[in-house]
Chains A and B, each alone.
Chain A
Amino acid sequence: MEQAQETLLREFEEKIECGFAIEPKDKMPAGYRKHLVRQMSQHAHSEVIGMQPEGNWVTRAPSLRAKQILLAKIQDEGGHGLYLYSAAETLGVSRDELIEQLHTGKAKYSNIFNYPALSWADIGAIGWLVDGAAIVNQVSLQRTSYGPYSRAMVRICKEESFHQRQGYEIMAKMMAGTADQKAMAQDAMNRWWWPSLMMFGPHDSDSPHTGDAFRWKIKRHSNDELRQKFIDKTVQQAEVIGLTIPDKDLKWNEEKKCYDHGEINWEEFYRVIGGDGPCNKQRMEHHIRVHNEGAWVREAAEAYSAKQQYSKNA
């Protein structure tokens, strides 16, 4: 038995080594399946929970065009959640189970959404910085080894780059506007910069799941590599519109051809992940409340469809 397991694992790893994608019906080690379910469901939940801070500004969007773009963007996020739940379902876990895991705290979502969206400029900052950071990660995931996940990422990346542009456009407009608007934009930058850097996770030296994920090509770049890529592209974008990055240690390193940055507040990172952030309870209570309030609708839809089925068979 053990030998059979070992053969399976060896064959699987050879397949990965040769660059083949793994498809739902392929044999895969339990650890691979488990890692993917955890990562994909976390990703799906993040898309869905991320609708809340942005949804907070839907009724207050300052122009018809701004409202249209924001709603369309949030709708995309919901759509991404749907593809990702479906992709996770190919691994034998249902959306109901995944939502249950979210509600009991077994599954996580991106920590960034535990921060509040306080002004209209935050909608800009979320699109530009948060989606900008997410894209760096997702571009790398387009080549992840699990087929359904990789295909979902290809589709998602196309839409995310539109989101990042809309966020940047909001920031650029505000930086070209009145003194109040500029102050709002800089304030949003100050509050969202560090949490955005934290989105890439702990330093490589402290990252717990990294070993298997690399060998199985679920992950193709390290946390620090991706974070660096994000910083390097974002610093210039900030300069162009006159925003200051809130890091006094940030400077160009001519030798390494990239930016050095100040120390991230890891104590805050672990505290917020652990549940003590500004919006953790609010986000989860909202999701649970809405889910429970909708229960009668889902039950009615099931009851109706069962009746239809019954009369078809009768």
Chain B
Amino acid sequence: MTQQQALYKYSLRLGDNALILSARLSEWCSNAPFLEEDLALTNMALDLIGRAQAMLKYAGEVDGNGKTEDDLAYRRSEREYYNNLIMELPNGDFAYTMVRQLFVSTFELFFFEELQKSTDATLAAIGAKTLKEVKYHHLHAKDWVIRLGDGTAESNRRVQQAVNQLWMYTGELFEMDGTDALLMKDGIAVNAEHLKMGWIQMVTQILALANIELPADGYMQTGSRMGIHTEHLGHILSEMQYLQRAYPDATW
């Protein structure tokens, strides 16, 4: 693997994470528990689309095959996608969506803090911009997880259930492979494994405030680094890519 190939894959991975989570969050549009939250969830989805655009555009430039961000988003199949599995899981109830957001945004808080120091100027710039947005996402998710965890018996039960169900998808966030190793040598990529302690501490603290028990460390599901996903990703893509695939000659 050359550095160029690694950088391409790394940017794709970051772009795919944003793209697929934005797809899920945007499904809340006109489906949220009340109007203000409908707008908040859409806002996060919009931030993530912007990030996906920037990352995929850069991936296309690095690859040098003249592919645009739309080509990469709309013309790749499931096995060519590299987002973490947690991003593609169906929304579940509002507690599930907020717990997923808390797990992801807490990770991203640490991740983009580091990525903004990348020796790659583009990744550093996107990282700095993203960090500002992620701070809001994190705050929003944290407030809701605490509010719901410490709200009623029902809301507490729902948050606990979401935490238990999502836990096995959190390990993958910190996974690294040859791509990361190659790019880390030159200070381009973030050492994700190093972020794990900070993440655990922060999540533990927030869940304690929410009266939620931390699950025991157990089996962690993996696969996305090799493009092996859950059954859910294919459905996201078949909806998202429908017009581009059905009318390949059209521009929109």
**Which residues of A pack against B, CB within 8 Å?**
48, 51-52, 55, 58-60, 62-68, 71-72, 74-75, 78-79, 81-82, 85, 120, 170, 173-174, 177-178, 180-181, 286, 290, 293-301, 303-304, 307
The chain B residue sitting closest to A56, CB to CB, is: B30
Residue B94 CB within 8 A of the other chain: yes
Contact between chains at B151 and A59 (CB < 8 Å): no
> Are A300 and B147 CB-contacts (below 8 A) given A68-B46, A181-B247, A294-B94?
yes
Are A63 and B26 in touch, CB under 8 angstroms?
Answer: no
Q: How many residues of B contact A (CB 8 A)?
A: 50
Q: Is the CB of B26 within 8 A of A71?
A: yes
B239: shortest Cβ distance to chain A, in Å? 5
Q: Does B240 reach chain A (CB closer than 8 Å)? A: yes
**Cα separation A294 to B113 with both chains bound (whole Å):** 34
Q: How far is the CA of A224 from the CA of B23 in the complex (A)?
A: 42
Minimal Cβ-Cβ distance residue in A for B247:
A180
Q: Which residues of A have CB within 8 Å of B240?
A: 59-60
User: Are B250 and A178 closer than 8 Å at their CB atoms?
Assistant: yes
Say yes or no: B250 contacts A290, CB within 8 Å: no
User: B52 contacts the other chain (Cβ, under 8 Å)?
Assistant: yes
- Alpha-carbon distance A304/B39, docked complex (angstroms): 22
Residues of B close to A79: CB separation below 8 A: 39
CA distance in complex: A290, B93 (Å): 11
Q: Which of B126-134, B152-160, B223-231 touches A?
A: B152-160
Partner of B244 from the list A62, A174, A294 (CB cut-off 8 Å) is: A62
Q: A64-B69, A298-B34 are in contact. Are A59 and B27 (CB under 8 A)?
A: yes
* Neighbouring A residues of B36 by C-beta, 8 Å: 82
Query: How many inter-chain residue pairs (CB < 8 Å) link A and B?
Result: 133
Closest to B42 in A: A75
Closest B residue to A287 using CB positions:
B30
Asked if B62 CB lies within 8 Å of chain A CBs, one says no
CB neighbours of B191 from chain A (8 A): none
The interface residues of chain B, by DSSP majority, are classed as helix
Question: Which B residues are in CB contact (< 8 Å) with A85?
Answer: 35
Q: Which residues of chain A are near B52, meaning CB under 8 Å?
A: 64
Q: A64-B53, A286-B30, A297-B148 are in contact. List 17 more A-B contacts (CB 8 A).
A: A51-B29, A52-B30, A58-B29, A59-B26, A60-B242, A62-B243, A63-B252, A64-B56, A71-B42, A71-B46, A75-B42, A178-B249, A294-B94, A297-B94, A299-B152, A304-B146, A304-B151
**B80 at interface by CB-CB < 8 Å:** no
Query: Could you tell me the distance in whole angstroms from the C-beta of B93 to the nearest C-beta in chain A?
Result: 8
A-B contact pairs, 8 of them (CB 8 A): A62-B244, A62-B252, A68-B53, A71-B42, A82-B39, A120-B243, A174-B252, A295-B33
Is the CB–CB distance between B49 and A71 below 8 Å? yes
* Beta-carbon nearest neighbor of A296 in chain B: B154
Cβ–Cβ contact A180 & B26, under 8 A: no
CB <8 Å contact, A74 and B147: no
Docked CA distance A51–B249 (Å): 30
> Chain B residues near A72 (CB, 8 Å)?
46
Bound form: Cα–Cα A73–B205 in Å? 37
CB-defined contacts of A66 to chain B, threshold 8 Å: 252
Contact with A along B2-46 (1 / 0, CB 8 A): 000000000000000001000100110111111111110011011
Check if B193 is an interface residue, CB within 8 A of chain A.
Answer: no
One of B35, B70, B152 near A64 (C-beta < 8 A) = B70
- Chain B contacts with A in 131-155, Cβ cutoff 8 A: 146-148, 150-152, 154-155
Question: A60-B239, A78-B35 known; A290 and B23 CB under 8 Å?
Answer: no
B45 near A71 (CB under 8 angstroms)?
yes
- Cβ contact within 8 Å between A301 and B32: no
Known: A75-B43, A299-B151. A294 touches B34 (CB 8 A): yes
B30 and A304: CB pair below 8 A?
no
A301 to B151 Cα, complex, angstroms: 6
Whether, in the assembled complex, B74 has its beta carbon less than 8 Å from a beta carbon of chain A, the answer is yes
Closest partner residue, chain B, to A77 (CB atom): B30
In the complex, A170 Cα to B155 Cα: how many Å? 42
